[in-house]
Amino acid sequence: MRPERDQLVEAAGRSIARGSKSFRFASQIFDLETRERSWLLYAWCRACDDITDGQTLGHDAQTPDNPEERIAFIWAKTDAALRGEHVGLVPFDALATVAAETGIPANLPQDHLAGFARDAVGWSPQTEADLLSYCYQVAGAVGVMMAHVMGVPAGDRDTLDRASDLGIAFQLANIARDIVDDARVGRSYLPSEWLQAEGLAGSDISDPAHRPALARMTHRLAELAEAYRRSSKVGAARLPFRSRWAVLSAAGIYGEVAIRAVTLGQRAWDQRISISKAEKFALVIEAFGEALMPAPKVNRQGLWTRPSERAPAHPPGRQAEPSAPRRAGRKGNQS
């Protein structure tokens, strides 16, 4: 029996309450319909992440013994959901519901799964462009799907690119925060070319002796994140007011994570960086004022841009090839 929409929303709300307090905090600003749809989308994203990493609601990640089977499973269930089938699992039925209601193109969930496929085979970026393509897959594609949830039409390419930029900024902040934790489970999202420049190629970067180099690379990640976050605000300014306010609130909260990682320097990984509820509230108030201001004028020139054509589906269990980077032209939209 297909679950009622209200039941899916309730289950999705429980998932986000436990899995991402920051996103739930910001999502309260959305109008009811947009909030519910954002929770439905989040439930699917959270489940795919947890299944891939063998974790629970984003915590206690461990390397699973059967990564290719897990990728094949989420790929098959996602494919069924996008065909409108009843899957019988809340996260995938939630995706089916939100995709049907908002017209999310099938290639966007496929792009997202391609990032998980990379993780499943222990992929690490060689170059900065590799890093940015991964950030697009695991977070930028979600930003584009959220833009559809907020009513951005499929033909508004620039606004969708700006939504991708915000997801990329979020992921770069997450990577900066989690460098040491990731290294402890055998993962590194720092490009090999960066590690080589610091003399850390092949090293255990969780070793406290490497903290000075990690602090320098964290500063580099934060600068990248800020460039994409600035670009995203142009797209946010085109959204309805409540959506604009919610997006700018999330941008402020995640931006604070990157800022704090840089400020802490070598102490950034002594304990997990978190933003208190009072600090989040202050950032939400700041975002309210920002939402009332005219759109900033930020050109996307030089930023990594998602592929313009529909990405081919990657077979389950195979490593996704890096998306070809495309740089925005000199006449990028400045509105």
Q: What is the mean pLDDT of residues 150-178?
A: 96
Residue 267 domain-assigned?
yes
Residue 56 has pLDDT above 50, yes or no: no
User: What is the rounded average pLDDT for all residues in the chain?
Assistant: 87
> Residue 285 belongs to a domain with what CATH number?
1.10.600.10
Identify the pLDDT of residue 182: 92
Percent of the chain with pLDDT over 70: 86
Q: Is 43 exposed, middle or buried (0-12, 13-18, 19+ CB in 10 A)?
A: buried
Residue 308 has pLDDT above 90, yes or no: no
Residue 20 has pLDDT above 80, yes or no: no
Identify the pLDDT of residue 335: 33
CB atoms within 10 A of CB 331: 8
pLDDT in tens, 57-90: 444 445 557 788 889 999 999 999 999 999 999 9
Tokens representing 178 are: 């989690």
Residue 317 has pLDDT above 60, yes or no: no
Decide: 162 and 234 in contact? Cβ < 8 Å.
yes
**Higher-scoring residue by pLDDT: 233, 3:** 233
Whether residue 113 is found in the same domain as residue 135 = no
Tokens representing 132 are: 């940015």
Whether residue 223 is found in the same domain as residue 150 = yes
Q: Is 217 exposed, middle or buried (0-12, 13-18, 19+ CB in 10 A)?
A: buried
Identify the pLDDT of residue 68: 85
Residue where one domain finishes, among candidates 278, 295, 312: 295
pLDDT in tens, 154-166: 999 999 999 999 9
**Enclosing domain of residue 192:** 124-295
Identify the pLDDT of residue 124: 95
Q: What are phi and psi of 198, to 5 degrees?
A: -95, 0
Nearest to 46 by CA among 62, 55, 57: 57
Residue 7 domain-assigned?
yes
With a CB cutoff of 8 Å and minimum separation 6, the contacts of 80 are 87, 92
Domains contained in the chain, number: 2
